[in-house]
Amino acid sequence: MNRRVFITGISIAAAAVIGFFIGQFSDEGVRSTATFDQPLIGIASLTSDTYVMAIQEAGGIPIVLPNGDGSPEKVAEYLELVDGLLMPGGADIPPSEWGEEPHPTTKLLEEDRYLFEKALITEWIEKTDKPLLGICLGGQWVNVAHGGSLVQDIPSEFGVNHRDVTHAVTLEPDSRLSAIFGETEFEVNSLHHQAVRDVGEGLRVVAKSPDGIVEATETTDPDRFLIGVQWHPEKLMPENQLQAKLLKAFVAAAAEKRSSRATAE
């Protein structure tokens, strides 16, 4: 067993255990029995161990937020407990969210996950000012939760493929995303067939591919870390230190927000 496999196994086990306890006790109970020096980063549904590893490598403590039966019952506790929220990749959001029928290529999210993640991200955006990072599907959730819409199938509509390829992205030079990377153009991995169409209220497009597909959005609020990207930076870590910058900036923003809350209390 190599070191990475071993560490991954430990990471998943730790995240699962913490997630279990969150599901069993109130936020006061968890906080009173454990003290964490690093920010707690909630991962909405565990779809890959790479998210857990990436958060650890970026300096955070990953906590899996189980979607269970889709009930939003624990959402309020999660909002209080964790310092940052990562919305991961996955299948497709029901297009009824923006008033469309499903395209033949649409593969809908499992119902329990869909209901849970919709409640979680909506409450997170509306009731907290804590950092939020959306990756692939998570980036699409960021847009839909702000009232935006999606292109349901890029190949059918634009005649190009963004699944299982690599391509360049160009970032807006005045964006938070560009400031994080310190660059305005680089290559990314690409695993999606949907993308942002109409941009949600309070968001702006900050990255596009050469064929004009939206690759990233961020909030127009300069005081909040809220970013959605179409590519998968976590899959490129730890080897790709450029992409690691995004996860590190996210965790750092969560740590800063946590510190400011502690000072205020």
Question: Is 192 among the catalytic positions?
Answer: no
Look up the CATH number of the domain holding residue 126: 3.40.50.880
**What's the domain count of the chain?**
1
pLDDT at 129: 96
Looking at the chain, list the stretches that DSSP marks H as alpha helix, in order from N- to C-terminal side: 3-24, 27-33, 49-57, 75-81, 111-127, 137-145, 154-158, 176-181, 233-236, 241-264
| Nearest of 170, 163, 171 to residue 232 by alpha carbon | 163
Catalytic-role residue among 77, 117, 136, 192:
136
Residue 205 has pLDDT above 80, yes or no: yes
Prediction pTM value? 0.88
pLDDT 10s digits, 106-160? 999 999 999 999 999 999 999 999 999 999 999 999 999 999 999 999 999 999 9
Region 226-242: mean pLDDT is 96
Least confident of 64-73, 137-146, 233-242: 64-73
pLDDT at 35: 57
Question: Is 110 among the catalytic positions?
Answer: no
**Distance from C-alpha of 110 to C-alpha of 105, rounded to nearest angstrom:** 15
Structural domain harbouring 68: 3-264
Give me the chain's average pLDDT, please.
88
Question: Is 234 among the catalytic positions?
Answer: yes
Catalytic-role residue among 117, 215, 218, 234:
234
Share of the chain above pLDDT 70, in %: 87
**Distance from C-alpha of 113 to C-alpha of 110, rounded to nearest angstrom:** 6
pLDDT at 23: 42
Catalytic-role residue among 146, 162, 193, 232:
232
